[in-house]
């Protein structure tokens, strides 16, 4: 009998769809500087009935994990109806949210009507100064902490997601300390993406090589501490290190897929090459016959071989073939804003000397 990491490894290697991400809307109640969504895009979004049909197809394909994201998914007018359908179809639901609306009736309804496995909340700093600077919404940090407290009392499982930026890279330890005080897992993402339309303005906030090295050092220390305490991680989490013998750099288009609010199917939220549209073909047909998707799968295998020359220190994934495809026109090439391995290595040595 297999272990779950073995099953996810097989999904990556054999292209079995296990995870689907639905971007319900690009609308948001915040205005984060580094947001990758192109809000200028306007066409006719999927209706509730179209979502319901799509999710039935995904359930028939034995997709286990379904993530609702945005924008801010809670501002979608049919959010609760869609969420309840996710529950009824037996998906393990993750909700990615900025957390601002998750209080009072909304939090209670989420618990009762949607019953997510986990709410992944975006945090941008350890202080209101840094967090609110990112969201451009004064008071958002303090309200997030209050909402987390309220959701804890409702027994809603939460996790924090933080994108490492030039603004918060000096607070990595403090952000971990905050997550520890809140009793929440924290996941750092060291990649600041360009906008969906290729605009690289958000990447001006990309973390420095020093910041990335510092994050890697903190992650390494925490991994060792967790091993000493035999502390568990998210059992359904990304945990690439636990996956035996994966042949790909990532699961984009191999075990996971992203579908935007207009039905466009893409390998990943960051790899926005449209490989089909669910209004034109069933998702199973796109999954099994798209030549674009087949090419992406080949590229993720190739990326695994070339990535060591680009990628960050242990525990930190920086290189993204989707961003490389968008910015360099080649999923296996370096791209503007990607610090070289040499720079990261020397920065790590500088840090070691500084300590």
Partner 1 sequence: MLGSFRIASDVRYRVIDDEAVVVRQGEGDVLVFNQVAARVIQLVGEGLTSQQIGDHAVDEFDAPEERIREDVAMFLEELENLNVVERLPQDEKNA
Q: Using CB under 8 A, list all residues that contact partner 1.
A: 1-4, 7, 10-11, 16, 18, 62-64, 90-92, 115, 117, 157, 234-236
DSSP state of 139: T
What are the phi and psi torsion angles at 272 (to 5°)? -95, 40
Shortest Å, Cβ 101 to partner 1: 22
Specify which residues 97 forms β-bridges with.
121
Shortest Å, Cβ 236 to partner 1: 6
DSSP state of 113: I
Shortest Å, Cβ 57 to partner 1: 14
Shortest Å, Cβ 177 to partner 1: 23
Say how many CA atoms lie within 13 Å of 247 toward its Cβ: 13
Indicate the residue among 63 and 212 with the shorter CB distance to partner 1.
63
Q: Which of 30, 34, 98, 61 is nearest to 259 (CA)?
A: 61
Indicate the residue among 33 and 117 with the shorter CB distance to partner 1.
117
Indicate the residue among 3 and 298 with the shorter CB distance to partner 1.
3
- For residue 78, count other CB atoms closer than 10 A to its CB: 18
Indicate the residue among 236 and 333 with the shorter CB distance to partner 1.
236
Q: What is the SS3 assignment for 277? A: strand
| CA gyration radius, the chain | 20
Percent helix, strand and coil across the chain, each rounded to 5? 45, 10, 45
Indicate the residue among 105 and 155 with the shorter CB distance to partner 1.
155
Shortest Å, Cβ 314 to partner 1: 25
Q: Write down the H helix ranges in 157-199.
A: 172-182
Indicate the residue among 80 and 117 with the shorter CB distance to partner 1.
117
Shortest Å, Cβ 316 to partner 1: 25
- For residue 224, count other CB atoms closer than 10 A to its CB: 10
- The 3-class secondary structure across 326-340, one letter per residue, is HHHCCCCCCCCCCCC
Indicate the residue among 234 and 315 with the shorter CB distance to partner 1.
234
Shortest Å, Cβ 45 to partner 1: 27
């Amino acid at each position: 009998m297999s272990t779950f990491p073995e099953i996810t490894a097989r999904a990556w290697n054999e292209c079995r769809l296990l995870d689907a991400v639905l971007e319900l809307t690009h609308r948001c109640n915040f205005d984060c500087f580094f947001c990758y969504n192109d809000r200028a895009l306007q066409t006719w979004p999927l209706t509730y009935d179209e979502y319901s049909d799509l999710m039935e197809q995904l359930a028939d394909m034995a997709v286990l994990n379904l993530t609702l994201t945005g924008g801010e998914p809670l501002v979608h007018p049919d959010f609760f109806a869609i969420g309840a359908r996710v529950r009824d179809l037996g998906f393990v639901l993750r909700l990615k949210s900025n957390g601002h609306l998750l209080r009072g009736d909304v939090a209670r309804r989420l618990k009762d009507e949607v019953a997510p496995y986990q709410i992944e909340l975006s945090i941008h700093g350890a202080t209101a100064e840094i967090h609110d600077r990112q969201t451009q919404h004064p008071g958002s940090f303090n309200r997030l902490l209050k909402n987390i407290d309220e959701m804890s009392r409702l027994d809603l499982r939460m996790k924090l997601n933080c994108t490492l930026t030039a603004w918060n890279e000096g607070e990595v330890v403090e952000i971990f300390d905050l997550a520890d005080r809140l009793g929440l897992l924290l996941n750092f993402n060291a990649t600041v993406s360009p906008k969906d339309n290729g605009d690289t303005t958000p990447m001006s906030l990309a973390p420095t090589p020093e910041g990335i090295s510092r994050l890697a050092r903190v992650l390494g220390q925490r991994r060792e501490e967790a091993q000493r305490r035999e502390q568990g991680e998210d059992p359904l989490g990304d945990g690439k290190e636990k996956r035996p013998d994966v042949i790909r750099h990532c699961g984009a288009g191999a075990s996971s897929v992203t579908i935007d609010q207009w039905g466009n199917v893409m390998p990943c939220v960051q790899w926005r090459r449209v490989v089909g549209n669910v209004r034109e073909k069933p998702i199973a047909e796109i999954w099994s016959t798209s030549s674009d998707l087949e090419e992406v799968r080949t590229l993720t295998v190739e990326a695994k071989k070339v990535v060591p020359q680009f990628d960050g220190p242990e525990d930190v994934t920086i290189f993204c073939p989707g961003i490389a495809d968008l910015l360099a026109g080649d999923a296996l090439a370096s791209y503007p804003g990607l610090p070289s391995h040499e720079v990261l290595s020397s920065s790590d040595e500088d840090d070691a000397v500084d300590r």
